[in-house]
Amino acid sequence: MVSPPKGVTEPISLVRPTSADLEATAQLETFLCETGLDETPEEEAVRVFGRRCFANLRASSTAGRGSDFDALVVSPYYVNRDHDFFSVLGGMLDETEAVTELQPVPGAHVSVIKMRFHSVQVDLIYANISLLVVPRDLDLHDRKVLCGLDLATVRSVNGVRIAKEIMRLVPDVAAFRMTLRCVKHWAKTHGVYSNVVGFLGGVGWAILVARVCQLYPNVLGRLD
């Protein structure tokens, strides 16, 4: 039985990679290591440790060396964003020795506390959902979670939902991740990686790469 296409249209090409493609992909992996785009074992250990410490978080699936760490804090409905998150938690973080460069930004499009934790850049995002108790196995991809949420909270959980949806819709997650890391590197070195100044940001580039992966599901990332 043929699987339905991942995208809104049929793929343009189903041609499988040749031996030359496989060799070029291996060269690309070497290039990523040599240019320092891969995390060191120490940096990766910090990120993995963070995944285990935060109950609800969004970690970039294409994290490379120097990438920031996005964490989503989810609370019951009665916890107040301004007082409990920005004032109380923000105050506790300010007194934490491992935290530096603390910068609460409540007025941003997505409210966030920016900081460095043990020298790792962290963006701490907050969402309070319409539940009395937040279950450990909460699935933020479930549309029922959005019921009763204000616009600010919907924006906060969007990152998790979009990331999971993209992973679900790409035919080859490994090829997508490698390609996106390369595209991000290209965009940054050419000065076109910033939604603040009118270019695409991380999500925009991810959606474009995901669409290309849908159109060419059997193509590998390669160095040309």
The pLDDT tens digits of the residues spanning 215-224 come to 999 887 654 4
* pLDDT for 215: 94
Residue 33 has pLDDT above 60, yes or no: yes
* Helix/strand/coil (H/E/C) assignment for every residue in 111-152: CEEEEEECCEEEEEEEEECCCCCCCCCCCCCCHHHHCCCCHH
Average pLDDT, the chain: 82
Q: Rounded distance, CA 183 to CA 10, Å?
A: 24
Q: Please, what's the b/e burial string for 39-70 (b: 16 or more CB within 10 A of its CB; e: otherwise)?
A: beeebeebeeebeeebebbbbbebbbeebebb
69-75 vs 120-128, strand pairing mode: parallel
What sections of the chain are H helices per DSSP? 19-34, 41-53, 90-94, 151-169, 173-189, 202-215
Is the per-residue pLDDT at 21 higher than 90?
A: no
pLDDT of res. 210: 94
Decide: 151 and 194 in contact? Cβ < 8 Å. Answer: no
What are the structural domain ranges in the chain?
Answer: 19-215
Average pLDDT over residues 191-201: 86
Model pLDDT, residue 170: 93
d(CA 173, CA 180): 10
User: pLDDT band at 176, cuts 50/70/90?
Assistant: very high
Say yes or no to pLDDT of 115 above 70.
yes
Query: Which one has a higher pLDDT value, 99 or 39?
Result: 99
What is the predicted pLDDT for the residue at 109?
A: 86
| Better pLDDT: 42 or 147 | 147
Residue 178 tokens read as 């490698």
Specify the CATH number of the domain 19-215.
Answer: 3.30.460.10
Tens digit of each residue's pLDDT (9 = 90 or more) over 50-90: 443 443 333 444 555 556 688 889 999 999 999 999 999 99
